[in-house]
Amino acid sequence: MPPPFIAWLRSPSPQQIGRVKALLFVVCLIPVSLLAWRFWHDDLGANPIEYITRATGEWTLRFLLITLTVTPFRRFTNLNWVLRLRRMLGLYAFFYCCLHLTTYLWLDQFFDWRSIFADIMKRPFITIGFAAFVGMLPLAITSTNAMIKRLGGKRWLWLHRLVYPVAVAGVIHFWWLVKRDIREPLLYAVILGLLLGARRVRTRQTA
Amino acid sequence: GSIALALPSLASAGNKLAGVVSSNYKVPDPSTPYKYVTRYNNYYEFSTDKEEPAEAAQTLKTRPWTVSIEGLCAKPQTIGIEDLLKFAPLEERIYRMRCVEGWSMVIPWVGFPLATLLKRVEPLGSAKFVEFTTLADRKQMPGIGSRVLDWPYVEGLRLDEAMHPLTLMAVGLYGEELPNQNGAPIRLVVPWKYGFKGGKSIVRIRLLDKMPGTAWNKAASHEYGFYSNVNPEVDHPRWSQATERRIGEFGKRKTLMFNGYDEVAPLYAGMDLKKNF
C-alpha cells in the first residue's frame, strides 16, 4: 500500500478535486491582489502604470506557460485528474490578459481610439500583442462544457490548438517591447520552446 | 537631510553643496519628488532594472576622481573632482528631462555650463564634435559583465551643441552632491535631448573632428540617432514619442519639440530632423 498522500495524489475523490480547484482559484488571485494592495499603498514605484502594465503582461505569459505545462505534466506523472485544472488556468491567463489590455486602453491611452488604432496598425509589438488577445477570445468563449458539447470534442480540440500561436505571439510581444536587455523574454521563449518540444516528443512516440 | 536619514542606503548622497547660486534656467513646472528622481534610474552599468541602481550603485567609488579633457585642444588637461567642484560657480538649474522610453521628470540640477570647461582647454578650429566617455569598471559595476551595450558608454555632441549655454555638467541635484545612481560625481545634462544623451560618471571628454560613435546608436542605429533631440514628430520605431508620462502624474502630456527648449532651434536650421533623428 502506498502512503495515504500518494494514494490521494493518484486518485483524488471528486470532493478533493473540488477543494484543490477552490485553493487554486484563490492562489491565482494572489498576483492581482498584491498589485491592488501595493497600488492602494502607493508602493508601485515612480511609474505605477508602467509597473501594472508590465506585471499583468508577465502574469498573462506565466499563466499561459503554466496552462501549457498541464498536458506534459500529466503525461510524465500519469496524474490524469490534473487535466481538470487546465481550464481554470487558461481562463486566468485570459483574465490577466484582459487586465493588461485594460491597463493599456485606459491608463496608458485613456481610450483615445484613434491613437490606439494607429498604435495597433503601426507598432509591430502592439500588433502582435493585440493579435494574441484576439486569439484568446474564442478559447475563452468556448471554454464552457456546453460549448465543448456544441462544437464536438474533435473540433473543440482543433480550435484550442490556437493556444500555441497565441503563446508564441505573447513571447514575441514581450521580446519586441524591451529596449535592449532580452534576457527575460529569452527565458520565456526557452520555456515555451521546451513545452512545445515536449509535445513533439510525444507525437513521435505515438506515431 | 531628512531624506538621506530616511534612506540609509543612500549615505553617499546628502552632502550639501556649498555656494550654489540661483540661475534663470528654471522651468516653472513643479520638481519631481526626490525619492522618484533617485529611485527610478536608467544606469545599465549597474542594472537594466530602473529601481535597482539606487542600491547597486552604492559600490561606485567617486573619490578620487579625475576627468581628462583631451583631443583637438590647445591645453589638454586632467582635472580632479575637487577642482571641478570649485572652478566655476555652481548654479541650480531646474530642467525638464524626457526619457526616450516615454516618461519625464523635472529635476533641480546643480552644475556649471560645459562651455566653461571647454573654453578652459581651448578647442582648436578643427574640433567639430565632443565625445564623452563614462566609467566602465567591472569591479565596481556589476552590469559591465553583461553585453547589453558596448562598454564603455560613450555619448557625443556637436561642438556648437556642447557650447550651448543650456548644456550642463551636473555635480548635484536638490542642492546636494549627485547620488551615485544619478551619475556621481559628474555627468552631462542636455535638456532638449533624450535622457540617454546625458552620460553619467564621466571620466573623459575628447574633442574630435569626426562624429563619435555613441553607445545606443551602435546598439540600434535605426532606433537611436546621433542627435536624439526630443521630437514628438519622430516616433521611436517601436513606440510613439507624441506624449509622455510625467513621473508622479496620472495622465499623459504632449511632448514638446526640443522638450520645450525652443532656443536651441537655430542649432538645427536647415536640417531635416526626421533624417537626423
CB contact under 8 A, A125 and B245: no
CA distance B230 to B259: 5
**pLDDT, tens digit (0-9, with 9 covering 90-100), for A145-157:** 999 999 999 999 9
Q: A91 CA to chain B: closest CA distance, Å?
A: 29
Question: CA of B101 to nearest chain A CA: how many angstroms apart?
Answer: 8
Higher-scoring residue by pLDDT: B49, A179: B49
Which pLDDT band holds residue A21 (cuts at 50, 70, 90)? very high
Asked if the Cβ–Cβ distance from B103 to A50 is below 8 Å, we say yes
Q: Do B251 and A50 lie within an 8 Å CB cutoff?
A: no
Polymer length in residues for chain B: 277
CATH number of the domain to which B211 belongs: 3.90.420.10
| Percent of chain B whose pLDDT exceeds 90 | 92
Determine, yes or no, domain membership for B273: no
Query: Does A49 sit within 8 Å of B251, measured CB to CB?
Result: no
- pLDDT tens-digit map of B84-110: 999 899 999 999 999 999 999 999 999
A183: pLDDT strictly greater than 80: yes
CB contact under 8 A, A180 and B251: no
The three cell numbers of residue A185 are 523574454
Query: In the predicted model, is pLDDT for residue B13 greater than 80?
Result: no
| Cβ–Cβ below 8 Å for B50 and A125 | no
In a domain, B83, yes or no: yes
Which of chain B's residues have a Cβ under 8 Å away from the Cβ of A173?
none
Q: Are B244 and B255 in contact (CB under 8 A)?
A: yes
Fill in the amino acid letter for B64: P
Number of domains, chain B: 1
Distance from the Cα of B78 to chain A's closest Cα (Å) equals 33
Q: Which residues of B touch A110 (CB under 8 A)?
A: 251-252
**Nearest residue of A to residue B223, measured between CA atoms:** A179
Least confident of A162-171, B144-153, B206-215: B144-153
Q: Is the pLDDT of residue B7 over 50?
A: no
CB contacts of B247 in chain A (<8 Å) are 46-47
What residue numbers bound the domain in which A135 lies?
A: 4-206
Instruction: Note the pLDDT of residue A204.
Output: 62
Residue B276's pLDDT is 95
pLDDT, tens digit, 9 for 90 and up, residues B188-200: 999 999 999 999 9
What is the arithmetic mean of pLDDT over B162-181?
98
Domain count, chain A: 1
Nearest CB neighbour to A49, from listed B220, B242, B245? B245
Q: Which residue of A has its CA nearest to B38?
A: A46
Query: Distance between CA atoms of A15 and A190, rounded to whole angstroms?
Result: 37
- Phi and psi angles of residue B26, each rounded to the nearest 5 degrees, phi first: -135, 120
Question: What separation in angstroms does the CA of A93 have from each of A60, A67, A70?
Answer: 5, 8, 14
pLDDT at B8 over 50: no
Give how far A104 is from chain B: nearest CA, Å.
Answer: 12
pLDDT at site B138: 95
Task: Quote the pLDDT of residue A5.
Answer: 79
The tens digit of pLDDT for each residue in B239-271 reads 999 999 999 998 899 999 999 999 999 999 999
Q: pLDDT at residue A115 above 60?
A: yes
Closest to B124 in 3D by CA, of B208, B205, B204: B208
Q: What is the pLDDT of residue A4?
A: 78
- Position A6 scores a pLDDT of 80
Q: How many CA atoms lie within 13 A of B44 on its CB side?
A: 19
B6 or B98: whose pLDDT is higher? B98
d(CA B52, CA B38): 11
Q: Is the pLDDT of residue B12 over 90?
A: no
Cβ within 8 Å, pair B40-A45? yes
Helix (H) / strand (E) containing B230: none
**Of B36, B148, B251, Cβ closest to residue A46:** B36
Distance CA B108, CA B30 (A): 10
CA B138/CA B165 separation, integer angstroms: 34
Residues 6+ apart with CB under 8 A from B150: B215, B218, B219
Look at A161 and A8; give whichever has higher pLDDT.
A161
- A47:B239 CB<8 A: no
Domain-located, residue B73: yes
- The x, y and z cell numbers of residue A128, run together, are 502582435
> Using the beta-carbon criterion (under 8 Å), do A110 and B252 form an inter-chain contact?
yes
Give the confidence band of A1 by pLDDT, cuts at 50, 70, 90. Answer: low
Chain B residues with beta carbon closer than 8 angstroms to that of A46: 35-36, 39-40, 50, 247-248
- pLDDT of A207 above 60: no
| Nearest-5° Cα angle at B52, B46 to B55 | 85
- Asked whether residue B275 is assigned to any structural domain, the reply reads no
pLDDT of B2 strictly over 60: no
Q: In whole angstroms, what is the distance from residue A76 CA to residue B53 CA? A: 43
Query: And the C-alpha cell for B183?
Result: 551619475
Q: Quick one: B24 exposed, middle or buried, by C-beta within 10 A (0-12, 13-18, 19+)?
A: exposed
Mark yes or no for CB contact A125/B238 under 8 Å.
yes
Which structural domain, as residue segments, surrounds residue B115? 2-268
CA dihedral A44, A50, A51, A56 (to 10 degrees): 140
Residue B6 has pLDDT above 70, yes or no: no
A58 contacts chain B (CB < 8 A): no
The 8 Å CB, 24+ separation contacts for A192-200 are A192/A65, A192/A68, A192/A167, A192/A168, A195/A65, A195/A68, A195/A69, A195/A72, A196/A68, A196/A164, A198/A72, A198/A75, A199/A71, A199/A72
Residue A73 class from Cβ within 10 Å (0-12 exposed, 13-18 middle, 19+ buried)?
A: middle
Res. B3: pLDDT tops 50: no
- The pLDDT confidence band at residue B51, using thresholds 50, 70 and 90, is very high
- Please, what's the b/e burial string for A132-146 (b: 16 or more CB within 10 A of its CB; e: otherwise)? bbebbeebbebbeee
How large is the average pLDDT for residues B160-165? 98
In chain B, which residues have their Cβ closer than 8 Å to the Cβ of A181? 44, 48, 146, 148
Q: What is the pLDDT of residues B58-70, one digit of tens each?
A: 999 999 999 999 9
Q: What's residue A206's pLDDT?
A: 56
B92 found inside a domain = yes
